[in-house]
Chain A
Amino acid sequence: MKSQLRWTLFFFLAPVVLWLFLLIVLPHIDLLIMSFRIENDAGDMVWSLSNYLNFFDEPIYWLTFVRTAVYSITVTFLTLLIAFPLAFYITKVVGTRFQGFFMTLILMPFWVSELVRVYGWMILLRESGVINHFLIKLGILHQPVEMLYNDATMIMGLVYTSMLFMIVPLISVLESLDDGLVEAAYDLGGNMWNILFKIIVPHAIPGIVSGSIVVFMLTLGNYLTPNLMGGKNSLWFTEQIYNEFIASFNWNQGSAFGFLLLVLSSLVIWAGLKLSRQKLSSVVQ
């Protein structure tokens, strides 16, 4: 009986373990090893730290790195600011009848690929795009303005792309908020801000943190949106990694950058969990 149970467990766990090991752990070990090796003058591979030292020597690398981190945090924060009232509205203000309808509205853009969504924005925003066309027709502008290829547009695109991943955990956590708590706080003399920061936000913290983690990781690792909407001045760190792997064909340098990004995202998430006094295990539930 017991051994039978163990065998079923093994049977169902095996694909997961294999998948994790073969597709995640093994390649990462390989990349880690690669990141510590360079080609010497004789053309032989030797152990070295210079891939990592390069990162600190070249300002363009670590500037892009810091920029990516700061912008990812900004995007996460902006997404939260927009998603929170929206999630509150959907769960608490509109009736249960319309909740599904609103959820579908939010889901709908995600039925098409990210590429199509970004091109949609580009059609709207580019110099010969829809918005410029109407602004000139209405006489507000005399010359078309290039609205693409700057940081603000890129951040907007990233926020738009991440929205769903923030709204879903927020909705599920706000749904479990007893309306009575809000009413009780109101009855005891609380105003809108007290109630928000003393009752609703503390209740929603696990959802806020888990949504933020997902949005932050997705944004940090995003390649398409910064590349297409950000233009040449808005370099994202993933583009640096891409350049090393594909353009320079320097896999060793690329792996080192990849690991730096992994360390960065782990550190930021760790700091976020510490700041919000949450445990990873309770947040991912």
Chain B
Amino acid sequence: MQIDLSVQHVTKKFQDFTAVDDVSFEVQDGGFFSILGPSGCGKTTLLRMIAGFIEPTAGRIEIRGRNMAGMPPNRRPVNLIFQHLALFPMMTVAQNIAFGLQRRGEKKDVITTKVNGILERVGLPGFGDKKIDQLSGGQKQRVAIARCLVLEPTVLLLDEPLGALDLKLREQMKVELKKLQAEVGTTFVYITHDQSEALVMSDKVAVMNHGRFEQVDTPPNLYNRPHTPFVAQFVGDNNAWSGRVKHSAAGDGDEVVTEIETGDGEHFRLRGSKRFEPGQEVDLFLRPESMLIEPDPGIENLNRFQVAVKAILFDGANSRLLVHPLGKETELLVALPQNRQYDYVQVGDRIEIGWHERAGICFPRETASS
């Protein structure tokens, strides 16, 4: 597989502030790579460096093996879809799409053919003569994508292009964008703060925080095997406990069995690959859906405890119970499957919660210095 985009040890400093700190990654030809991070984590700076609007303080950006240092945006084989799309309001849809082709000095009839072709591809045939302000949000989105794709860039950069859309349309565009990318086969680099966009569309996701990549992995791995507490908390919902290791020893097979006493006095047992030192401070993360409500007494290897139901947060397929362990302050989110099995659960009820010993993820406590 060819490497389309290679970013090597790129750093960007603004005076004392380091926006991007020694980031390296590679994207293969035809890949859909997402950079996921909270606002202010440096993802836009990174994207703008790839597009050529900002020069990195240190490091190297290569596109198809060519070093991009010092090359202005108008000569790079990448195109950027802006957060607010930046369609030219003084031009029609066709003129917008033709802008880049005209700059390359292509012939008029070639331009017309290409513009019509790409409009068809993004599902807007016959929209060429419309004004930009006559389009709906989703249509503008597609015109912005068409305007870039018609130039056949090596890499297409997308800066949270779905951010301005309403929820329903966003869900729809997510699927469409993924389909379109698979069809045209262009390499996409997508930045977003919305984990669902990143997880649904991408082949690989980099989670970024404070200018660094915390983890670069496939979406399922990010969700199931986060490498850092930040990833565990940022990707998907997680319940967090702080606790102390009582005992950690090899169990059956390769597994390490660790016993933890949480800060509020619960005792949990954990099976995993990591070994901890007794007495070590740890953070324990647990997904809402890995907690079972009233589990069958026959299931082995469960950590079981009693909780009181504080509230029912109904949200269709994403419904949760807000509970707290008896006599304790900690609040936990527990997934509430809408399969009628748990309809009896009421606010104020006492129920038993169980989770499998392999479901918890544990990290040594980060010291205050980091």
Q: List residues of chain A with CB under 8 Å of any chain B CB.
A: 178, 180-181, 183-191, 194, 198-199, 202-203
Contacts and interface: CB of A to CB of B under 8 A. Distances in A.
A180 B84 CA distance: 8
A184 B86 contact: yes
A190 B82 contact: no
Given A180-B82, A183-B82, A188 B90 contact: no
10 contacts: A178-B86, A181-B86, A184-B86, A186-B74, A187-B53, A189-B100, A189-B104, A191-B103, A199-B88, A203-B89
Contact of A188 (B53, B79, B83, B84): B79
A184 B82 contact: yes
B82 A188 contact: no
A188 B151 CA distance: 8
A273 B100 CA distance: 30
B102 to A, nearest CB: 8
Contact of A183 (B86, B104, B148): B86
A198 B53 CA distance: 20
B99 A198 contact: yes
A185 B99 CA distance: 8
A63 B163 CA distance: 63
Nearest to A191: B74
Given A184-B88, A190-B74, 16 more contacts: A178-B86, A180-B82, A180-B85, A183-B53, A184-B82, A185-B99, A186-B53, A187-B53, A187-B73, A187-B80, A188-B100, A188-B151, A189-B75, A191-B74, A198-B88, A199-B88
Contacts of A203: 89-90
Contacts of A189: 74-75, 100, 103-104, 151
Which size class do B's interface residues fall under?
Answer: 20 to 34
Interface string B40-57: 000000000001110000
B147 interface: yes
Interface in B47-105: 51-53, 72-75, 79-80, 82-90, 99-100, 103-104
A198 B99 CA distance: 9
Main secondary structure of the interface of A (DSSP, over half): helix
Contacts of B88: 181, 184-185, 198-199
Contacts, number: 59
A94 to B, nearest CB: 18
Q: Which of A181, A188, A199 has the most CB of B within 10 A?
A: A188
Contact of B103 (A180, A181, A188, A202): A188
A196 to B, nearest CB: 13
A269 B19 CA distance: 52
Nearest to A188: B100
A253 to B, nearest CB: 48
A209 to B, nearest CB: 14
B71 to A, nearest CB: 12
Given A183-B53, A202-B90, A203-B90, A190 B84 contact: no
Ranked nearest first, the 7 interchain pairs of A and B with the lowest CB-CB distance are A180-B86, A189-B103, A184-B86, A188-B100, A202-B90, A187-B73, A189-B74
Nearest to A195: B74
Contact of A187 (B74, B89, B104): B74
A187 B99 CA distance: 11
B105 to A, nearest CB: 10
Nearest to A179: B86
A112 to B, nearest CB: 40
A180 B73 CA distance: 13
B54 to A, nearest CB: 11
Nearest to B100: A188
Given A188-B79, A190-B99, A178 B84 contact: yes
A11 to B, nearest CB: 39
Nearest to B147: A188
Contacts of B84: 178, 180
A181 B84 CA distance: 10
A188 B153 CA distance: 10
A190 B103 contact: yes
Nearest to A198: B99
A215 B69 CA distance: 46
Contacts of A199: 88, 90
Contacts of B80: 183-184, 187
Q: Which of B79, B86, B90 has the most CB of A within 10 A?
A: B86
Nearest to A194: B103
Contacts of B103: 188-191, 194
B114 to A, nearest CB: 14
A52 B265 CA distance: 105
A189 B103 CA distance: 6
Nearest to A192: B74
A183 B79 CA distance: 11
Contacts of A202: 90
A88 to B, nearest CB: 17
Interface in B291-323: none
B148 to A, nearest CB: 8
Nearest to A178: B86
A134 B256 CA distance: 90
A198 B98 CA distance: 12
Contacts of A180: 82-86
Interface string B116-154: 000000000000000000000000000000011001000
Q: Which of A180, A181, A189 has the most CB of B within 10 A?
A: A189
Contacts of B87: 184
A208 to B, nearest CB: 13
A199 B87 CA distance: 11
B100 to A, nearest CB: 4
Contacts of A191: 74, 103
A194 B99 CA distance: 10
Contacts of A178: 84, 86
A5 B80 CA distance: 54
